[in-house]
Amino acid sequence: MNNNEATEIVQGIIGNILQAEVNLAETDVNLFDLGLDSMSIVDFLMAIEEEFDLEIEESELKEDVFTSAHKIVELINTSLSEGV
């Protein structure tokens, strides 16, 4: 999966959680600035794991991961490649 495809899926998941249209054209946008909070981050992570059929290790969930969509996409791609 390429980064653009993953970014579009992440954008859709965030949009569904926030019930708003989200544009991640700026991949360095902070996810908390979009309106995600600690509760919605849990929903977001569950949706990511379900959509991409992966399990994100707790050790990978550092606060800086949520500072940009780009870092989330990197995390997804890393998790997918390790699962292969």
Delineate the domains of the chain, giving CATH numbers in brackets. Answer: 3-82 (1.10.1200.10)
Which of 48, 44, 52, 60 is closest to 84 using CA atoms?
52
The contacts of residue 21 (CB under 8 Å, 6+ apart) are 15
Distance of alpha carbon 37 from alpha carbon 53, whole angstroms: 23
pLDDT band at 3 (very low <50, low <70, confident <90, very high): confident
Q: What is the pTM of this model?
A: 0.84
Kindly report, residue by residue over 30-62, the tens digit of the pLDDT: 888 888 998 999 999 999 999 999 988 888 888
